[in-house]
Structure 1
């Protein structure tokens, strides 16, 4: 990806290696790889939120998929609709799968929370941002700042499609597809307050009860917020 005349070839800048917390999360998802899509084969909420974006944005609009995973379904769905998608992912294994699954998109290997601080992306670079179960991977103390950063990356009035699991937890280790990952979550009312405090208007909410295909992953209540930069 090019930004400000520089080209980023898919590496975290050497002066800013991932923290121990983030590196552990990335290592787990490297090992999980495409088993993630096997455990979550049906992503109706994610596809519906992506459909809101494709219906709201003209072709050629710039979209950031924060925590793009394997690129399926979001990068693929948005790219097929003629949107210019940049996927950001810290796990090299997931990023390799995304490049294979949707080769026409742009990708950046980076810590989501460092995109502005490290100058990898510029404020106002995107018409929309998706963050599907990405903030889930951060401790709560980092989530307000991450939301504020995503807001800065948007043009005025830009759109945010956010997916979270409803749970009153903070940086809790859980078994996930044979590995341990740390997750955070909010009850839906608290999530609304968090998003509006970060400078977004919540346009719509959808929720889905979801039972993953893998018995190693418990059922969950997924919340999707359709938001606009206020």
Structure 2
């Protein structure tokens, strides 16, 4: 999602309150339609698998892990499940969840917006040892990302881990073409992202970056950032 590598479609809303109240039905419908093409466009997820491996090495077998924006369940829910973890995957797309349940039948999957995972929501506070959020928060307006990170922090037990993946881009809630559909995305530059994560109550233990060229010509090359974090 290099800002030099794609042309935004339309303009972002100027009112943060309007952005926060956006109906994300269109986002879910886009990913319902994209389906397996997502994994075909992004076949090699080195950074994602490496970050998941870091968390697995830190966790005891049987630990509860939350996979936010789980998509098809590949590779993350599958990776954690194969390592003996109890996985709960969350996604807004019913189509993606159907694929995830097929790919990782041992895991539990829940249809929900990340913004709904607040106190009093469907998941209990402090009930997870780790969370993975790979390219999930970029689907939110910037105005919502700090709150989503705080909600994830609250779902983690003290000292719980967060493996976070984002695309480096200085954009806020802009529409872009993606695999034949239009989605809205946000992003930060590296230092900004780190500050947002730390302000939400996480210690950033390690940062990794990868230049990624998707297999599909419908998606431009992008700089992926992975933060290895612990609940402070």
Tell me the TM-score normalized by structure 2.
0.90
- Deviation, 1:62, is 0.4
Aligned pair 1:198/2:200, yes or no? yes
- Deviation, 1:44, is 0.2
| Correspondence list, 1:156-175, <5 A | 156-175=158-177
Per-residue CA deviations over 1:87-143 (Å, capped at 9, x if unaligned) read: 001100000000011111001111111123552011101000000000010000000
Q: Report if the CA contact (8 A) 2:119-2:151 is conserved.
A: no
Residue 218 of structure 2 aligns with which residue?
Answer: 216
Residue 186 of structure 1 aligns with which residue?
Answer: 188
RMSD: 0.9
Helix, strand or coil at the partner of 1:169: coil
| Correspondence list, 1:68-107, <5 A | 68-107=70-109
Q: How far apart, in 2, do the equivalents of 1:66 and 1:82 lie? A: 18
Per-residue CA deviations over 1:49-74 (Å, capped at 9, x if unaligned) read: 00001111010000000110000000
Q: Give the counterpart of 1:46 among 18, 43, 48.
A: 48
- Deviation, 1:21, is 3.2
Q: Give the counterpart of 2:178 among 176, 188, 198.
A: 176
Q: How far apart, in 2, do the equivalents of 1:21 and 1:48 lie? A: 33
Residue 13 of structure 2 aligns with which residue?
Answer: none
Q: Report if the CA contact (8 A) 1:116-1:122 is conserved.
A: no
Q: Report if the CA contact (8 A) 1:88-1:108 is conserved.
A: yes
Q: How far apart, in 2, do the equivalents of 1:203 and 1:83 lie? A: 22
Q: How far apart, in 2, do the equivalents of 1:83 and 1:53 lie? A: 11
Q: How far apart, in 1, do the equivalents of 2:92 and 2:119 lie? A: 16
Helix, strand or coil at the partner of 1:212: coil
Q: Give the counterpart of 1:151 among 147, 150, 153.
A: 153
Q: Report if the CA contact (8 A) 2:32-2:93 is conserved.
A: yes
Aligned residue pairs: how many?
212
Helix, strand or coil at the partner of 2:73: coil
Structure 2: any 5+ residue segments left out of the alignment? Answer: 1-20
Q: How far apart, in 2, do the equivalents of 1:37 and 1:73 lie? A: 9
| Correspondence list, 1:14-29, <5 A | 21-29=23-31
Q: How far apart, in 2, do the equivalents of 1:149 and 1:63 lie? A: 15
Query: Which structure has more strand as a fraction of its residues?
Result: 1
Q: Which runs of 4+ in 1 moved over 4 A?
A: none
Q: How far apart, in 2, do the equivalents of 1:41 and 1:93 lie? A: 19
Helix, strand or coil at the partner of 1:36: helix
